[in-house]
Amino acid sequence: MNVAVIAEYNPFHNGHKYHIEKTKSITKANNIIAVMSGNFVQRGEPAMADKLIRTKMALRNGVDMVIELPVQYATGGADVFAGGAIDILNKSNIIDGVCFGSELGDITPLSEIADVLNNEPEEFKKMLKTALDNGINYPAARALALSHYLNTDISFLNSPNNILALEYVRALKRSESNIWPYTVKRVGEGYNSEEIDADFASATAIRQALYDGKLDEAYSAMPEECENIISNEVYFLPTLDDYSDAFLYIMRAVPLKNIADIADITEGLENRIYNNMENRFISDIINVVKTKRYTHTKIQRAILHIILGITKQMQRKSPEYIRVLGFRKEKEHLLSELSRKSSLPVVTNIKSHEKFFETEVRATDLYYMLFDGITGREYTNPVIVE
């Protein structure tokens, strides 16, 4: 039985290892296949370590094969992120189940809400419109409308992990997938917690500790193998602010009418951003531009999409390939099975599939611009075999 997990591993920590172990226990899986973000992640930021380093972390801690989630989906909102990952899993034709973490730990209420959101009954749509007209941001407005429509407490949707879990279930239902959903109840600190006071700290807290140079704190919440990899292979920790000059140049060089086509640019957001470009850093621009309607994370994603040139149309397109980043040597048969059964091209070397990879090449070149400026790494990066 092949079971998938969808992750960023930014970085891989004890909670991720727990999730993999519980997934194996719950599903009786023979193989765990991860669909993982590349060099930029869903919060609209650069990953703290590149995708090859994070692939190694995964393969040394229970994952048998790592497939890349293309950057246009990996940096999208929950619906885009989940939709792209589930589409890849469906078209791989080798996945029996998918197991994701959630604070809820129960599929049933997620399934009920997914049915409402996928079918959009007229009464629900009216409630949603009223909430949005009152200036409430979309996630909060949707939660309010759902609560009234279902006449039940759905405050659990305030959790980012539960929102993402819901979108996985929605994507599975929309595609009439044969993949069975499972969920593992999340343990330890909350998603956005910056405290490291337990074995199961959040990725947010671990990243902050690494950026602050508090290595012992960070490593206390990570498997030993990950500590070794980070200490030996991570030479720089990029932030979105590091790309401020590139962003300001693009905003001045590209016509605003073209910026309007960029993913997460809605309702004139490009004008709000453009009118606040006297600020030197991206973080300062975000703090000035954000409103109740436009959350910090939405603006951050929009700015990253401007830098990477990711349009709304690119996110609406279905995946065109399945790229394998790495696998465990004793599980090489998974690559053969995937190549044989997938309805999409399976890529291990992009040279023969360049037409698919223009955006990914640009994203990786940008990622390393801060470190050594070497371009074309996507053509030379090896498949990781552990």
pLDDT at 294: 85
Cα(202)–Cα(183) distance, integer angstroms: 18
Work out the mean pLDDT of the chain and round it to a whole number. 94
For residues 216 and 251, state if they share a domain. no
For residues 226 and 322, state if they share a domain. yes
For residues 69 and 185, state if they share a domain. yes
For residues 42 and 189, state if they share a domain. yes
DSSP notation for 129-197: HHHHHTT--HHHHHHHHHHHHHTS--GGGGSHHHHHHHHHHHHHHHTT--PEEEEEE--SS-TT-----
Last residue of a domain, one of 127, 158, 189: 158
Q: Any idea what the CATH number is for the domain that residue 49 is in?
A: 3.40.50.620
3-state secondary structure of 370: coil
- pLDDT at position 225 over 90: yes
Cα 89 to chain centroid distance, Å, stands at 15
Whether residue 37 is contained in a domain is answered as: yes
Burial grade of 108 (CB within 10 A; 0-12, 13-18, 19 or more): exposed
Whether residue 165 is contained in a domain is answered as: no
Band (372; pLDDT cuts 50, 70, 90): confident
- Do 76 and 43 form a contact (C-beta atoms < 8 A)? no
Helices and strands in the chain, H and E counts: 20, 10
Domain range for 255 is: 240-314
Whether residue 172 is contained in a domain is answered as: no
Last residue of a domain, one of 124, 158, 192: 158
- Do 337 and 96 form a contact (C-beta atoms < 8 A)? no
Cα(19)–Cα(16) distance, integer angstroms: 5
Cα(20)–Cα(37) distance, integer angstroms: 17
Tell me which residue of 38, 41, 2, 34 sits closest to 19, measured CA to CA. Answer: 34
For residues 7 and 56, state if they share a domain. yes
Band (192; pLDDT cuts 50, 70, 90): low
- pLDDT at position 321 over 90: yes
Whether residue 137 is contained in a domain is answered as: yes
Tell me which residue of 346, 261, 247 sits closest to 311, measured CA to CA. Answer: 261
- The strand pairing partners of 324, in sequence order, are 67
pTM: 0.94
- The strand pairing partners of 69, in sequence order, are 37
- pLDDT at position 120 over 80: yes
- pLDDT at position 276 over 60: yes
For residues 97 and 187, state if they share a domain. yes
**Which residues contact residue 204 at a Cβ distance below 8 angstroms, ignoring those fewer than 6 apart?**
191, 192, 193, 194
Whether residue 171 is contained in a domain is answered as: no
Whether residue 166 is contained in a domain is answered as: no
For residues 290 and 364, state if they share a domain. no
For residues 296 and 348, state if they share a domain. no
Q: Can you tell me the mean pLDDT for 106-122?
A: 95
- How do residues 151-182 score in pLDDT, each as one tens digit? 988 888 888 899 999 999 999 999 999 999 99
- pLDDT at position 190 over 70: no
For residues 39 and 68, state if they share a domain. yes
Cα 138 to chain centroid distance, Å, stands at 19
Last residue of a domain, one of 268, 283, 314: 314
- How do residues 26-50 score in pLDDT, each as one tens digit? 999 999 999 999 999 999 999 999 9
For residues 133 and 93, state if they share a domain. no
Whether residue 47 is contained in a domain is answered as: yes
pLDDT at 194: 59
For residues 287 and 335, state if they share a domain. no
Number of domains in the chain: 3
For residues 129 and 275, state if they share a domain. no
Whether residue 154 is contained in a domain is answered as: yes
- How do residues 76-107 score in pLDDT, each as one tens digit? 999 999 999 999 999 999 999 999 999 989 99
